[in-house]
Amino acid sequence: MKIPFLDLRRQYQQIKHEIDAEIQRVLSDGFFIGGVPVLDFENAFSKFSGATDCISCANGTDALEIALKALGIGRGDEVLVPANSWVSTAEAVNNVGAEPVFVDVIEREYTIDPGLLESVITDQTKAIIPVHLYGLPARMADITVIAKKYDLKIIEDCAQAHGAQLNGRAVGTFGEAATFSFYPSKNLGAYGDAGAIVTSDLHLAGKMRRIANHGLLGKHDHQLIGRTSRLDTLQASVLLIKLHYLEQWVLKRNLVASWYNEYLREDIARPVNMDGVYHAFHLYVIRTKYRKDLIELFDDLGIGYGIHYPVPIPLINSYSYKGHNRNQFPIASKLSEEIISLPMYPELSEREVKYICDQINTIG
């Protein structure tokens, strides 16, 4: 049985009639930048996220850079980021002229370890970017206490956490701002690149909106140095349709995760289940010392997989200038050798999940 790591065609077939009709409507209108669909999506997504305002933009990396710039973070500043994440979390810091400071992660949770934050805070530290990795909320209560103690800004990276909650509160509402990616593979995915920032700070929202649009306050009235980072009308229309399904899709992801939990051998490390946490399960990540053997088996059988991520960010080539080594990030380094992401999307059947688990259970 061949099972892809991700199959977006299955999702499309379920909502094809809505998507096709809306795309045709946008094409017929001939209005491709801005307009009512973008405003409607921003309003709907801010309501979904529990924030006052949503500023749409071109992608999740732009969202991080715009938020950092709007908060006044730049040359000479430091920003704390987790060692285990996608590279854009750190790249965005460099791209506004600041310096990322890497922090190891919690072994079972994979998110930034609040217990290590104070040891790396300096007079130059201005912000923390906690990443709700794989869909699991970071420990925001502890992070918030430290941020307040040292007067640090919090930018939540929610690129993998659409629909996740912490004690009934949506991720993205704990800091000054939160950023989202709508890359096609995300829980809420566009049919191309797209992103957004949410905040309940109206002044910050206005500044971020201007940065994303050439610093404009009004036509030809450039108040600050900005950039072009827009969500186009077609993508906004697609996202608005999909947003109506997001809650049930995340619920189904949790069901798929429960099937994995049921059928995997007890000794295989799987995602943690914690009180007060609603996991969005963008990814279902297990750990095994026999990853190489499992990859060979999956390749032979045609079962898809991913490794998120094979090298901790501070150890990738683009950050070699920092001179870091594995011993400085023992947990992230250990995880990089053992983690493997299994197929995870709402359209997976219990039969497919059981088949995948049956194969995994033969290894080791």
Residue 253 identity (one-letter amino acid): R
What is the crossing angle of helices 233-263 and 8-29, to 10°? 170
State the Cα angle at 75 between 71 and 78, rounded to 5°: 70
- The predicted-structure confidence for 53-67, as pLDDT tens digits, reads as follows 999 999 999 999 999
For position 291, what pLDDT does the model report? 97
Phi and psi at residue 154, in whole multiples of 5°? Answer: -120, 125
By three-state DSSP, how is residue 132 classified? coil
Q: Is the CB of residue 57 less than 8 Å from the CB of residue 190?
A: no
The reported pTM is: 0.97
Q: What is the pLDDT of residue 223?
A: 79
Q: In what order do the strands lie in the sheet with 195-199?
A: 53-57, 195-199, 177-181, 153-157, 125-128, 78-82, 99-103
How many degrees, rounded to 5, is the angle at CA 190 between CA 286 and CA 281?
Answer: 20
Two structure tokens written together for 355: 């088949």
Sign of CA dihedral 50, 51, 54, 58: negative
- Which of 50, 80, 38, 87 is closest to 212 using CA atoms? 38
Tell me whether the omega of the peptide bond preceding residue 309 falls within 30 degrees of 0, making it cis. Answer: yes
C-beta neighbour count of 235 within 10 angstroms:
24
- Low-confidence spans in the chain with pLDDT less than 50: none
146 vs 134: CA distance, rounded Å: 23
Q: Are 191 and 185 in contact (CB under 8 A)?
A: no
Write down the pLDDT at residue 130: 98
**Model pLDDT, residue 77:** 98
| Residue at token pair 């009934």 | 168
